[in-house]
A = this chain, B = another copy of it.
Amino acid sequence: MFYFIIDVLGIIAFSISGVLVAMEKKLDPFGVFIIAFVTSVGGGTLRDVLLGATPVFWLKEMVYIIVISVTVVFAVMFRDKLKYVRTSLFLFDTIGIGLYTLVGIEKGLNVGLVPVMCVALGTMTACFGGVTRDILCNEIPVIFRREIYATACIIGGFSYFLILQLPIEVTYANIVAISIVIGIRLLAVKFKIALPNIYRASKKK
C-alpha cells in the first residue's frame, strides 16, 4: 500500500511535469496527454524493453493510464494554478526519481544482473521519461545540462548495494536508498551544487 501510494504520486508528479512542458510548447490536448504519458512511463518502458520484460508494464495494468488521464485532465483544467504548486511538483518529481530508481534496480536483480547494471537500469527508469519528453518537444534533454539529477539516482543506487551488506532488512535498505536519492537532489538544488564545468571560460574566440 505504501509503495502503491508513492508509485501513484510518482506518476502524478511526472505527468504534471509533462503537462507543463507540453503546454509551454502549445501542443494540442492529445499532444499534452502523450507527453505526460511518456514522461511518466518512458523510463520504465525502456527498462522493460531492454530486459525483454514484455508486454511492458503499463500494457498489463490499467492503473497507469487511468492515473495519467485523470492527472492530465486536472492539470489542464487548473493550468493557471499550476505555477503556485511548482515547489510541491519539484518535491513529487524528486520522490518519483527516488522510487523509480529502486524499482528499476529491483527489476534488474530479478533477472540476475550485476549491481552496476541494476543501477544503470534504475537510473534509466527514473530519468528516461524526462529525456523522451524533451526530445519530443525538440529540446536538448535538460538532464544533460550540469544539474545533479541522474547523478543522484546513481549515487543512491550504489548506496543500496552497500546498505545491503549491513544486517538490515531489504525494505529498510530500499527506504534508505530512496531517501539518499531524494536528499542529494534536494541538497543539490538548495545549494546550487552542479557537476563540474569541464569547459574553460577562456574559450571565447
Contact = CB atoms under 8 A, between A and B. Distances in A.
B59 A28 contact: no
Given A138-B140, A145-B28, A146-B28, A111 B55 contact: yes
Interface residues of A, number: 55
Interface in A64-114: 65, 76, 79, 108, 111, 113-114
A140 B52 contact: no
Contacts of A62: 114, 116-117
Interface string A143-185: 1111100110000000000000000000000000000000000
Interface string A24-64: 01111111101100000000010001111011100110100
A135 interface: yes
Nearest to A45: B50
A31 B116 contact: no
A1 interface: no
Contacts of A131: 136
Nearest to A195: B28
18 contacts: A22-B144, A26-B199, A28-B145, A29-B198, A30-B144, A31-B141, A31-B143, A31-B144, A31-B145, A45-B50, A49-B49, A49-B54, A50-B54, A51-B54, A59-B113, A60-B113, A65-B117, A138-B140
Given A28-B195, A30-B151, A137-B140, 12 more contacts: A23-B198, A26-B199, A28-B147, A29-B196, A31-B144, A34-B150, A49-B49, A49-B54, A55-B111, A62-B116, A65-B116, A76-B198
Interface of A: 22-23, 25-32, 34-35, 45, 49-52, 54-56, 59-60, 62, 65, 76, 79, 108, 111, 113-114, 116-117, 120-121, 131, 135-141, 143-147, 150-151, 194-199
